[in-house]
Amino acid sequence: MQPSTSTSESIRVLHVDDEPDLADLVATFLEREDERLTVETAATVADGMARLDETNIDCVVSDYEMPGRNGLEFLEAVRTGRPDLPFILFTGMGNEAIASEAISAGVTDYLQKETSTEQYTILANRVINAVERARAEQAEQRHLRAIETAQEGISILNADGEFIYVNEAYAALYGYDREEILGAHWSLLYPDQDTQTIRETILPSVRANGFWRGETIGLRADGSTFLEDHRLATTDHGELVCTVLDTTEQRRQKQAIEELHSSARAFIQAETAEEVAEIAVTAVRDILEMPANGFHRYDGTDDRLVPVTWTDRTEELVGEPPVFESGEGIAWEAFAAGEPLVYDDIATNDKRYNPDTPIRSQLALPLDGRGVHLIGAPEPAAFDETDVSLAKTVAAHATAALERVERERELTRQNERLATFTDIVSHDLRNPLNVAIGRLELAQDACDCPHLADVDQALRRTETLLDDLYAFARAGTVTLDPENVDLTNLCRTCWGHIETGAATLVTDSQQVIHADRSRVRELMENLFSNAIRHGDGAVTVTVGDLEDGFYVADDGPGISDADTDVVFDYGYSTSEDGTGFGLSIVREIADVHGWDVRITDSDAGGARFEILNVETIGT
């Protein structure tokens, strides 16, 4: 006898025999026959039952004739609580009557004791076969239970294409009872125009590759169709395993998400809260197919929710939507909580606004303190998880759009104040300055005072500061008039508008950008002037292209690491005659365009300003 080299699981055996010496002998031989076997012994049925309660036993081996209860009575007791546990009757009292009775009682196997030791080899094989068969049946049952409870529709077809198994989910997908499908041909479940494709294309692919997955059209018992995710696989016995999922809802959700992305662009372009409300209500009605919905905005002055826009279906059901005062209705509950509320049936909800409302299903989606979007339906439980998720997406877009509209309104007010300030700078302050400069010239003609030169310098610097301050204030406005701008031509124009001295301009740019021409001219003139001022006049300024913008570089002294983080701060300058506004204006103009500005070293060791995220038209 050779020890087994199997890697299968161990097998724990309970041997019940009223002769302890024989029981020990059987245990010794069985464990020698196969290393997987571990044998425990008991002398009575009572001891055996107790051992079963204490230990996980894989197989019972029992004598027949024992004091108290015999082996068949033991079998009956075991079957009461463990109907699938293998039970082998191993007895010296062998006769046909006992064997027949044992088989009728559900014994797994029957073996008569003999005097040779070969019987233990037979017994070991019987035990192992019984346990492995029981384990396989248990695994199969687990698989069947898993298939039965699976959400996917699963079926098995024989070689003739007839159903030999279907789970409940499969039958429900097609609107049949299981018994109606079993024995039927697969063509029952597909439109006539599709069966030829299945026969000539799909089934040959399965036979050739062993597997196929794709989309097919399923035919329900009522004649309706649906899109299904269909997987087919062959077994070793020539059977076909089919797994089917109804993807109609997933396809609807995907399409809705794509359309919501399109509506997101409309949200971005909305200029008023009313436009935002109209876009949200239309999206919910047309994309999510929820015809009864309306949009309420929060009125902080009177502390109430005021209807802004609503669908015709809403008015058909409830009339013109009401104004919700503080604390009224489900709408206010959601608004105050800041959390979406979903009700399958509001008929029994004490917080509903109208006790006689025909609305049964209700979604209330708060808009971050700015209002609430209400969606209703006259049927209970009308909204599933997908509906709720998509509606939340619309509410999130609307909330972001409302926030942006508020922010832009505030920016408009700020720009109006900035425009007023700019007018004061350009008119009210410049007039007295011009008077002072004129009077200074008269004084210089009338007398020779050494202090007048200092006064002249101070007034000229004040004039420069006012010019830069005006440019800085103007650069911060969000009003733009973008057009296609040839960068090289613009740079040459800018170069001719400033004092360049001995400086040289090199334009390597082939870029055409979409921007406000006058603002870009101010940006370039300030960068050029900055390079000339810090380059002691004889500096070379180079303009070149970047993948998403352009750069202005020079061969001057460059910018130290310590100054890199502060050069854009208004008022900062390392030059005695500088106002500190030039690079601040550059940053403001870049910001208003949505561009980024990065400072680095040029190839020549000077400064290099990179303008990034620029909308380019081409070269």
What sign has the CA pseudo-torsion 413, 417, 418, 422? positive
- Range list for CATH 3.30.565.10 in the chain: 478-618
Percentage, residues of the chain above pLDDT 70: 86
pLDDT tens-digit profile of 536-575? 768 999 999 999 999 999 998 888 776 766 677 654 454 5
- Range list for CATH 3.40.50.2300 in the chain: 11-145
Domain spanning 151-246, CATH architecture:
2-Layer Sandwich (3.30)
Is the model's pLDDT at 578 over the cut of 50?
no
> Does 3.30.70.270 match the CATH number of domain 11-145?
no
Q: Which residue has the tokens 């040779």?
A: 116
pLDDT tens-digit profile of 367-417? 999 999 999 999 999 998 888 988 999 999 999 999 989 888 887 777 676
pLDDT tens-digit profile of 273-303? 999 999 999 999 988 889 999 999 999 999 9
pLDDT tens-digit profile of 70-113? 888 899 899 888 888 999 988 876 667 777 787 777 888 888 88
Nearest CA-CA partner of 488 in 426, 550, 424: 550
CB atoms within 10 A of CB 342: 17
Burial of 26 (0-12, 13-18, 19+ CB in 10 A): buried
Is the model's pLDDT at 211 over the cut of 80?
yes
**Radius of gyration for the chain, computed over Cα atoms and rounded to the nearest angstrom:** 44
- Starting at the earlier edge strand, list the strands of the sheet with 59-62: 37-42, 11-16, 59-62, 87-91, 109-112
- Starting at the earlier edge strand, list the strands of the sheet with 482-486: 482-486, 512-516, 616-618
Q: Kindly give the pairing relationship between strand 607-612 and strand 596-601.
A: antiparallel
DSSP 345: -
Distance separating alpha carbons of residues 199 and 217, to the nearest angstrom: 14
Task: Report pLDDT for 477.
Answer: 53
**Residue 14 half-sphere exposure toward CB, CA atoms < 13 A:** 26
Q: Tell me phi and psi for residue 355, to 5 degrees.
A: -60, -25
CATH class name, domain 478-618:
alpha beta
What pTM does this model have? 0.45
**Tokens standing for residue 577:** 């005659």
- Range list for CATH 3.30.450.40 in the chain: 267-405
Distance separating alpha carbons of residues 190 and 565, to the nearest angstrom: 70
**Tokens standing for residue 413:** 């007010």
Distance separating alpha carbons of residues 333 and 362, to the nearest angstrom: 13
Do residues 60 and 88 make contact, with C-beta atoms less than 8 angstroms apart? yes
Mean pLDDT, the chain, rounded, equals 85
Topology of 267-405 in CATH?
Answer: Beta-Lactamase (3.30.450)
Do residues 420 and 450 make contact, with C-beta atoms less than 8 angstroms apart? no
Do residues 36 and 10 make contact, with C-beta atoms less than 8 angstroms apart? yes
Q: Kindly give the pairing relationship between strand 240-246 and strand 153-157.
A: antiparallel
